[in-house]
Amino acid sequence: MNFLLDKEIHNKDKFHKPDFSTKAGREILAIYLHSKFKQIIDYDKNNPTPIFQSISPDFISKFTDRIINNPEKHFLIGISGESASGKTTICNTIKSAIEKFSMPVEILSADNYFKDISQLIKEHGSFDNLLASGYDVDSPNNFDMEQLFKDLDMLSKGIDVKIPQYLVNGTGIVVPNAISKRAEKIIVVEGMATMYGKVADLFDIKLYVDIAPEIQEKWFINRAMTSRNQNEENARKQLDYVRKASKKYILPKKNNSDIIINGASSLDYFTQIIEFIYKITNNYYQED
């Protein structure tokens, strides 16, 4: 990818920057991006550890059509996948790469839209006891999907929002209007709820982060013990639950994603791809 970056930067065959305020200018950009995206895909196929596992056949045309016909809408990227697949890491990588170019970006976790289950946890004595009782915490019914849709729709229209905060401490408490989110031009949202219902239709790009089971297990157990104050026995019990929930709710929607990426791929390589996309959308000849 560094080779492509260097080639793009030193490319002498630049064309005049189109007027993106016009539909004709955006159509020129769309044609250009269409060819460059195919270049990225072809390059990745020959990479020893490709990041793209699959790309929807109509993704590029849908993406470029969005650029042409709806330029005012803020850009929403939805990232889903199983627990401990690397979703948060990918989100932070995208954020860091975009901020490198002084472009505004906001990150939002859809897990904050879990409904408050603090009373149920009190009744059962603990979160683990609640799960053991058969409570299906990852069901779409246990997310406030209406509020998530409303907030994302407002952000896509350039309106700042305050989102709830789900406390990841075993209490099941949700604090309403706890986190301020700015309607930046690029908004990255991660979590399984990005796949559900009409919320999924809001995203300009739907990414699914895939991961091998043995790597997922390693990451899940390590995260549970180091940052969530769980012992290994409880962590493995919860891993068993989330895998069952994944088979029920997440994996059936995997192929609805625009792009499926390898969560274990090199983050440096992924950053280079983002940098290349930035370069190709800003590498024009401009008259003084």
Predicted confidence (pLDDT) per residue in 172-228, tens digit: 999 999 999 999 999 999 999 999 999 999 999 999 999 999 999 999 999 988 887
pLDDT of residue 12: 56
**Mean pLDDT (whole number) for 79-89:** 92
**Separation CA 189–CA 110 (nearest Å):** 7
Domain 52-108+185-264: CATH class, spelled out: alpha beta
Lowest mean pLDDT among 2-16, 97-111, 169-183: 2-16
pLDDT of residue 69: 92
DSSP reduced 3-state for 139: coil
**Separation CA 64–CA 75 (nearest Å):** 13
Query: Does position 74 have pLDDT exceeding 60, yes or no?
Result: yes
- Confidence at 123, pLDDT banded by 50, 70, 90: very high
Cα-based torsion angle of the residue sequence 244, 248, 252, 254 in order, rounded to the nearest 10 degrees: -50
Query: Does position 3 have pLDDT exceeding 60, yes or no?
Result: no
CA distances (Å), origin 252, targets 187, 249, 257: 25, 6, 11
Contact criterion met (CB below 8 Å) for 209 and 261: yes
**Closest by CA position to 197, among listed 131, 267, 148:** 148
Query: Does position 15 have pLDDT exceeding 80, yes or no?
Result: no
Assign 3-state DSSP to the chain and report helix, strand, coil percentages, each to 5.
50, 15, 30
**Mean pLDDT (whole number) for 239-264:** 92
Q: Where are the domains of the chain?
A: 52-108+185-264
Eight-class DSSP state of 18 = P
pLDDT of residue 283: 61
- Confidence at 4, pLDDT banded by 50, 70, 90: low
Greater model confidence, 160 or 265 = 160
Q: What percentage of the chain exceeds 70 in pLDDT? A: 92
